[in-house]
Amino acid sequence: MANSTSRVNEEIRAPKVRLVDSDGNQLGVKPRKEALEIARSADLDLVLVAQKADPPVCRIMDYSKYKYEIAQREKESKKKRTQVVVKEIKYRPKISQGDLETKTRKVLEFLEDGNRVKITVMFRGRELQHPEQGQRIVDFVKDETKDIALVEIEASLEGRNMTMVLIPDKTKKKPKPTALNTSQPKNQELVT
């Protein structure tokens, strides 16, 4: 089929073309002028579909409708694509326990939403002499998220940052909370 840079009608320069009608039937090899006349008599366009063939292959079609259908198919395929989003949470080695738990809850939220999460522990100055503090944070996050996440890239120290990437585990979905005390009917009447 034709692509977005197809030659149409007078743009076709080949003296003879192999002609295919709008139903897909081969009409044989025709001079370019005769092929154009056939296309115009059908109130359609002559579109070059195989330029490298000998002779080039042209098809009779409604080119504007064809371009519209291609655009619609591309639009539909874009809707079906899923965007992979990588969220990043940054920690420091001297983080307090409360802040550590708060940031880790945010990591859990991102994972439940289906996003990848990059965990970064940033070291400054002499903190780099104690990478075990960063490893302690990474291990804590890994332990807290083990029920719903997999480690895609293990923790590694790159320059002044220790990074790890987590992805949501499709097989381990966190169960939704269920209603408590469902064994009794809600509207219970007293009989006297």
| Domain boundaries along the sequence of the chain | 9-77, 86-168
Q: What is the mean pLDDT of residues 58-67?
A: 89
Buried b or exposed e, range 9-41, using 16+ CB within 10 angstroms: beebebeebbbbeeeeeeeeebebeebbebbee
Q: Could you report the per-residue pLDDT of 64-106, keeping only the tens digit for each? A: 888 898 899 999 888 887 777 899 999 999 999 999 999 999 9
The candidate with the shortest Cα–Cα distance to 169, out of 108, 120, 121, is 108
How far is the C-alpha of 21 from the C-alpha of 105, rounded, in Å? 63
Name, in order, each residue with C-beta under 8 angstroms of 111's C-beta and a sequence gap of 6 or more.
117, 145, 148, 149, 166, 167, 168
The CATH number for 86-168, chosen from 3.30.110.10, 3.90.550.10, 3.50.50.60, 3.40.50.920, is 3.30.110.10
Round to the nearest angstrom and report the end-to-end CA distance of the chain: 82
**Which whole-number Å values give the CA distances from 160 to 36, 75, 95, 188, in the listed order?**
68, 43, 16, 64
Q: Could you report the per-residue pLDDT of 139-177, keeping only the tens digit for each? A: 999 999 999 999 999 999 999 999 999 999 888 655 444
The CATH number for 9-77, chosen from 3.90.1640.30, 3.40.50.1970, 1.10.645.10, 3.10.20.80, is 3.10.20.80
Better pLDDT: 70 or 110: 110
Q: Could you report the per-residue pLDDT of 18-30, keeping only the tens digit for each? A: 999 888 889 899 8
Q: What is the rounded average pLDDT for all residues in the chain?
A: 85
